[in-house]
Every structure is written in structure tokens, then in C-alpha cells.
Amino acid sequence: MAIEVINIETFLQLRQQLPVFDVRSPGEFEHAHIPNAISLSLFTNEERAIVGTQYKQIGKQRAIKTALPFFAEKMIPMIETVEKVITKNKFPNEIIVHCWRGGMRSAGVAWLLNLYGFKVYTLQGGYKAFRNWALQQFEKHYRLNIIGGYTGSGKTEILKVLQQQGHNVIDLEALAHHKGSAFGGIDMPAQPSQEMFENSLALKLYQHTTLVNNAFPIWLEDESQRIGIVNIPIKLFEQMRQSTVYFFDIPFEERLKHIMEGYGNAPKEKLISAIMRIKKRLGGLATKNAINFLLEEDVSNCFSELLIYYDKLYWKGLHNRNNVLELVKTIPAPNTNAQNNAQLLQEYLNSTEHD
């Protein structure tokens, strides 16, 4: 079987059914990779540095001679890794291999795996081609609907209900591993790099506009551009700011109750650390009060103090839009029950469908 070189469009289709093996170094893979790809490193980080230096300073032939012993000791483990993945997941005997830009690393591993008996596809242009494709996704126009509401409104839970109902939904906070506020990183996995966040988001946009149903809008949560340490790509964020916001107006006490359920049992040291991170914006007195309430086991008043701050911050962001009166549609809701609020949203959409 000949090794087949595929373009990015074919790759995006085949990756839905076949395993993708990334033969770049562990450091490259850890920084960012194609979502769901499997690391099958040809070189360690140190070996890559050695081979790369010789390639630049001496030449291709010397680099290849240096690389071959590194490759030789990994041949059997590589084959066995691929076999395990295929057997465990019941994949066909076909795989996709890529490196940084479709060069010698993927060519060498593809040769080995093809020789062993796998049908091998290599991505033309490698990870670099995918990365360029990913960035292009943020230049496109999308039909977006935004779920809005003050902190503690249960916006993420509404999105989950919409997703269960079959709507196109992208959970930005899930992709960012962060819930948005100063407390958003508590009990969450480490955040991805900016590049990895963009890769995941690009594939989600592609999925909802190409593989699912482009006839319906994509629902997103109203976010600041920055979510923890990652940023929503500016072109997409600008589209979000120009899209209709369905703002759930929920009483303060109900939202406070929801926040308490989410963070009330979090370790005090983590809560205090989060409060200290927003000290300058929160103000000295409010910071002091919030921490004192927390130390006195009065978690409710602590979060009440913080919720007042976040309400002001969100109100400012909500109204910092052109045509805010046209874009923001208010939906009064008595509490944070996501099922009920998704129903209220549907009733609102039905009532305005022919307006």
C-alpha cells in the first residue's frame, strides 16, 4: 500500500473516523496539537534539539545520520503503540500521521508504519497547515446567538440544556477550562495554551457550520474577551458583540444562592487568593469586608459583596455595545432553573418569530 498524502480538507473528514498520530516532540505536542491527536514522538525534546541544530549548522545528511539511532530504538514501541490504539478503539487498519510541516519526521514514521502493514495517510503541510486553517476559521462570518445574564444566572447550564435539545452550542468556558471570573479556575483542569484553545474552538466552529447543521445559529455564552489566561480571537469576539443577547434577568438572591451552591464549599485559601487577585478593581474596603466575612464563616455575605462588584462589571460590558437597545433582549426569570429558563427562551423566540 502506498503512503497517501492528503490535503487539509480531506484530513478534516478522515480524522472523524481514523486515529491521528502526531510525531512531533513532547514539548511541541504539550504546547498545542490537533484536538484528539495522539502523541507518537519520533524524538525527545533533547533529541529534537540535537538533530535540529545539526541540520541548520552542518546539513541534512549529518542530521539524518544523527537521527537514525534515535529512530531505531523507537521503531518497535511506535508500532506497538499504534497497534494498541487501533485494537482498543476498533479502528480500521488505517492511520493519519503528521509532523510540524509534513517533512522528514512524518515521512520516516509513515515509511515504518506503512512497511509494517498499516494504510498510512500523511497531512500535506503537517501541523502548520492545520494551524493556518484554524486561524482562518476566525475570519469567517457566523450566525451567533448569545446567552446573557449577571454572574450566577446559570448561563452555562442553559447552554447545556440547549445542547441536549439539539441546538448548536459551543461552551467557551469548557474549552478554556475556566468559568470566567476570578474564581473560575477553582477545581478546574489547567488551562490550555492560547494556541490549543484556538485549535479546539476552530474545530467546534467547523463542526457546527459544516458537519452538523448550518441552518441554525450557534449559541454562546456572553463572555469577556479574556477567559482566565486565554482570549477569544478578536474577529469572533467582535461578532459576538454584534449578535443578539438573550439576557436572563434573575433576582439577586436567586443568583447568590446559585453561586453559593457552586463555590460555597471551596477551600477558603483559594477563595481568598481569588479575592486578592481582583483587589485593585474591587476596592480596599470591599476586599477587606469580603475576606472578613469569609473568615467569620459568613460565606453568604462574602459572595454578596463580590456579586455586587461583578454585577457592575457585567452591566458595563453588556452596555458597551453599539445598538445595545436593539441587541439585548431581556427575559425575566424567577430563578436559575436551567430547564425552565430554556423553556422561557423558547417561548420568547416563538413569540418574536414573526415580528
Helix (H, G, I), strand (E, B) or coil at 227: strand
Sheet holding 244-249, edge to edge: 168-169, 218-221, 144-149, 244-249, 328-332
- Report the amino acid identity of residue 227: I
Q: Using alpha carbons, select from 352, 281, 341, 339 the residue that is nearest to residue 314.
A: 281
In SS3 terms, 332-343 reads as ECCCCCHHHHHH
Q: What is the DSSP string of 264-281?
A: TTS-HHHHHHHHHHTHHH
> Judging by DSSP bridges, how do beta strands 218-221 and 144-149 pair with one another?
parallel
Contacts of 202 (CB under 8 A, 6+ apart): 133, 134, 135, 137, 138
d(CA 28, CA 40): 12
From the list 105, 107, 30, the residue with the least C-alpha distance to 67 is 105
Helices within the chain (DSSP H only) = 8-14, 26-31, 45-57, 60-72, 75-89, 104-116, 126-137, 155-164, 172-176, 194-206, 234-241, 252-263, 268-277, 279-282, 284-295, 299-319, 324-327, 338-351
First to last CA, the chain: 60
**Can 302 be counted among the known catalytic residues?**
no
Give CA separation, 5 vs 71, 97, 172, 195, 239, in Å.
22, 10, 33, 25, 36
Q: If DSSP codes are grouped into helix, strand and coil, which group holds residue 249? A: strand
DSSP for residue 15: T
The catalytic residue among 67, 78, 99, 220 is 99
Q: Which positions are annotated as active-site residues? A: 99
